[in-house]
Structure 1
Amino acid sequence: MNEGVEWALHTCVNLCWIPGQSVTAARLAAFYDLPTAYLNKQLQALARAGILMSTTGPRGGFQLARPPEKITLLDVVVAIDGPEDAFRCQEILRSGPGGQARTNYRKTCLISHSMRQAEMTWRKELSSQSIADIVQSVEHSFPKTPEDTRHWFDTIRT
């Protein structure tokens, strides 16, 4: 999983605390001292996935495209990293001693099976948590964070 997933998740959470405002990629990047061009690439991927909406012009920027309850952690991961499986069986058993050319090792290999099962559990867990769930947890554990975030975006100009 690339670091863009972490950046995208934090950005979505921060946008929850400044609803209705479009925020430029430069300001979102400055919040964590991230490279603007690279974060912008992640923001564009989120916009293509319907997680963010992008507006152009002097008041342009990014904001959530749907309620945070409707954005799962898996939605963000897939938007940034793509829908491909994390583990990709290359069927190396076919090349080993006793390998059979006609055997589908993706189905018969116990390692492939175990990795696929673990990934399904991981995806199920990510799909069961929303951005709203994260926001709620942050607000419970760190109650000043929403106010501090709003204050930063209200006062800092980039």
Structure 2
Amino acid sequence: MRMSEGVEWALHSCLNLSWVDSGRAVTAAKLAAFYELPAAYLNKQLQALTRAGILSSSSGPRGGFQLARSPAAITLLDIVTAIEGPDEAFRCDEILRQGPGGDPETDYRQTCLISQGMRRADIAWRRELAAQTLADIKSSVEQKFPAAPLSTRNRLAALRA
């Protein structure tokens, strides 16, 4: 399974926003310029995060995006789901129904061992993402790279985008 690049962009943008002073918003253009990303495409990801209640946005000269919840209340699964949607990674199309001995009355999504295995893997993946919060990632980054919060704030402030 491969997630879209928007997931990576959204995760990093949320982490960067976690270091911005409370009450301050950052424009999509500045968030995009931080990593030299296309602003229009990043803005779509930021809008998806806003619809999911992860970010809030405001317009005007001091407008932009900020976290709508505390980092401890945002899981990695929240961010991934906001960008990729809630669907399972594997979709059983019940091809066994057309195979030898296929039964049109059987729900192969429930009885197929491949489908069951893929569902278990998807659940485990989602459980792991749901167990990690943005606060967990933020704390780990700050321990490993103590200068990251100040460096991020300074760089965002210096960007002219």
Confirm or deny a common fold (TM above 0.5). Answer: yes
Query: Given the alignment, which residue of 122, 128, 136 partners 1:125?
Result: 128
Q: What is the CA–CA distance in structure 1 between the aligned matches of 2:14 and 2:21, rounded to whole Å? A: 11
Contact 1:19 1:63 in 2 (8 A): no
Amino acid corresponding to residue 11 of structure 1 in structure 2: S
Contact 2:34 2:159 in 1 (8 A): no
Contact 2:52 2:82 in 1 (8 A): yes
Residue 6 of structure 1 corresponds to 8
Matched, 1:96 2:72: no
The C-alpha deviation readout for 1:80-135, integer Å capped at 9, x for no partner, is 11111111100011111111111110000000000000110111110010001000
- How many pairs does the alignment contain? 158
Segments of 5+ residues of structure 2 without an aligned counterpart are none
Residue 58 of structure 1 corresponds to 61
Amino acid corresponding to residue 150 of structure 1 in structure 2: R
Q: What is the CA–CA distance in structure 1 between the aligned matches of 2:5 and 2:156, rounded to whole Å? A: 23
Query: Given the alignment, which residue of 53, 72, 75 partners 1:72?
Result: 75
* Superposition pairs of residues 7-156 of structure 1, within 5 angstroms: 7-20=9-22, 21-156=24-159
- The structural deviation recorded for 1:141 is 1.1
Using the size of structure 2 for normalisation, the TM-score is: 0.96
Identity %: 64
- Secondary structure (helix, strand or coil) at the match of 1:99 reads coil
- The structural deviation recorded for 1:148 is 1.1
Q: Which runs of 4 or more aligned residues in structure 1 lie more than 2 Å from their structure 2 counterparts after TM superposition?
A: none
Using the size of structure 1 for normalisation, the TM-score is: 0.98
